[in-house]
DNA sequence: CCTTCCATTGACCTTCTTTGACTATTATAT
DNA sequence: ATATAATAGTCAAAGAAGGTCAATGGAAGG
């Protein structure tokens, strides 16, 4: 466990607990984690994308930096509209999952609700060779049922 | 003689006596038992299926893992199994909604989670001239997004 | 025996991570 | 202005897991 990428992600998010943005040196960070500098870009691309609710700004050359900004949505009346536009009438699982994480980080949904949502949009729930509506719904719904039980298990573990 | 699969099954169940979940490396386990890695999948599929009360989660790539979670089945030991049978591979909206209500009455899900589930299985979410998986997912997901926001509004009204 | 069902294996596939070579940009010293 | 040093970005390839499936093996029942 303790993936390098995961560690870097958490490291950055820890830096951002107070402030909504953080500025760092790519090479320094890479050196701190003993990895290739491009590893940092990988983490940014996979965990700090716009869909995750972050914006990356950077600058090269002497005194260069990478700045990570958490997007403001406080009081943004069109957040839902924005998300709906982003989704459009076709969206892949990766994007959907990123948006769910985003909602979760903003505490707009609970951990359990996020899990429920993920289960509804997962490959597993939707990749079917059929077209009948009921059949499809069954697939989605079974997935969600499983999720409910998983959530209960989680809850019980935490209650102890 | 004790089948390999049985040994692996018991080995895993021993690991789970205390905790309701374990995380393991497929390849390590296979090596420990001197068998093909896919053997592990066979054991998981035949002895740790949802019908058996378990859920499997996994991740590929570096730092990959297989997590086995034992579900808590309150009271009736096969409630989930019953529900899954009831749903089968085809279910209409009415039935799905009834099951969701039932889960809610049993306090297995919150009001918000129930709403989320309804939104995922609603006519509106699924009755589309779709064929591409992504298109379908988008429809489901947009519905869930709307629901999340509805929930938030509800919450806010109650907070006042 | 023969069939059938469960178990086992191995070849091939998919996903996620990490690295390194090469490229692009910016500041600073000359 | 120009050269150089200091940064960061991109992309393809290698590495590190786990997944699938069809073929084979083996044991129990008929």
Domain termination site, one of B70, B94, B120: B70
Residues B85 and B155 in one domain: yes
Of residues B107 and A160, more confidently modeled: B107
CATH code for position B8: 3.30.56.130
Domain termination site, one of B70, B88, B113: B70
Residue A78 lies in a domain: no
Tell me the β-bridge partners of B24: B66
* Token output for A140: 């989605």
Which residue is closest, via its CA, to the C1' of C7?
Answer: B5
Number of domains making up chain B: 2
Residues A57 and A15 in one domain: yes
Check if the beta carbon of residue A150 is closer than 8 Å to that of residue A114. no
Residues A95 and A152 in one domain: yes
Which residues form the domain of A62? 4-70
Residues B92 and B152 in one domain: yes
Residues B90 and B129 in one domain: yes
Of residues B116 and A144, more confidently modeled: B116
Residues A21 and A58 in one domain: yes
Q: How many residues does chain B have?
A: 160
* C-alpha to C-alpha distance for B111 and A151, rounded to whole angstroms: 14
**Chain B residues touching A104 at Cβ < 8 A:** none
Residue A85 lies in a domain: no
Residues A60 and A115 in one domain: no
The pLDDT assigned to B79 comes to: 77
Residues B54 and B94 in one domain: no
What is the C-alpha radius of gyration for chain B, rounded to an integer number of angstroms? 20
C-beta atoms of B120 and A140 within 8 A: yes
In the predicted structure, residue B10 carries a pLDDT above the cut 90: yes
The pLDDT assigned to B113 comes to: 87
Residues A144 and A116 in one domain: yes
C-beta atoms of A133 and B149 within 8 A: no
Check if the beta carbon of residue B130 is closer than 8 Å to that of residue B139. yes
Residues A55 and A95 in one domain: no
Mean pLDDT score, B88-110: 83
* C-alpha to C-alpha distance for A132 and A145, rounded to whole angstroms: 20
pLDDT (tens digit per residue) in B36-68: 999 999 999 999 988 888 889 999 999 999 999
In the predicted structure, residue B101 carries a pLDDT above the cut 50: yes
**Which residue in A113, A128, A131, A132 has the most chain B C-beta atoms within 10 A of its own C-beta, making it the best mutation to test that interface?**
A113
**Worst-scoring range by mean pLDDT, A12-16, A45-49, A148-152?**
A148-152
Domain termination site, one of B70, B103, B119: B70
The pLDDT assigned to B142 comes to: 59
In the predicted structure, residue B145 carries a pLDDT above the cut 80: no
Residue A79 lies in a domain: no
How many beta-carbon contacts under 8 Å exist across A and B? Answer: 152
Residues B83 and B153 in one domain: yes
Residue A147 lies in a domain: yes
Percent of chain B with pLDDT over 90: 32
The pLDDT assigned to B159 comes to: 56
In the predicted structure, residue B107 carries a pLDDT above the cut 50: yes
Residue A40 lies in a domain: yes
Check if the beta carbon of residue B91 is closer than 8 Å to that of residue A134. yes
At a 7 A CB cut-off, the residues bordering strand C are A 3-6, 34-36, 38-39, 42, 46, 59-64, 94; B 3-6, 34-36, 38-39, 42, 46, 59-63
CA to C1' distance (Å), from A147 to C18: 33
C-beta atoms of A144 and B117 within 8 A: yes
Nearest to B91 by CA among A37, A139, A92, A71: A139
pLDDT (tens digit per residue) in A82-129: 888 888 877 888 888 898 899 889 888 888 888 888 888 877 777 555
Residues B102 and B155 in one domain: yes
pLDDT averaged over every residue in chain A: 83
């Amino acid at each position: 466990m303790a993936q390098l990428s995961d560690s870097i992600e958490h490291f950055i998010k820890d830096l951002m607990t107070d402030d909504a943005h953080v500025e760092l040196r790519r090479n320094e960070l890479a050196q701190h984690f003993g990895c290739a500098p491009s590893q940092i870009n990988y983490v940014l691309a996979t965990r700090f994308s716009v869909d995750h609710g972050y914006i990356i700004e950077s600058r090269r050359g002497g005194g260069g930096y990478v700045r990570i900004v958490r997007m403001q949505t406080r009081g943004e009346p069109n957040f839902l509209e924005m998300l709906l536009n982003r989704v459009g009438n076709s969206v892949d699982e990766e994007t959907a999952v990123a948006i769910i994480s985003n909602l979760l980080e903003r505490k707009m949904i609970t951990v359990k609700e996020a899990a429920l949502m993920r289960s509804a949009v997962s490959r597993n729930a939707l990749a079917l060779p059929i077209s009948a509506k009921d059949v499809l719904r069954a697939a989605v719904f079974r997935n969600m049922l499983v999720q409910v039980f998983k959530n209960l298990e989680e809850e019980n573990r935490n209650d102890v």
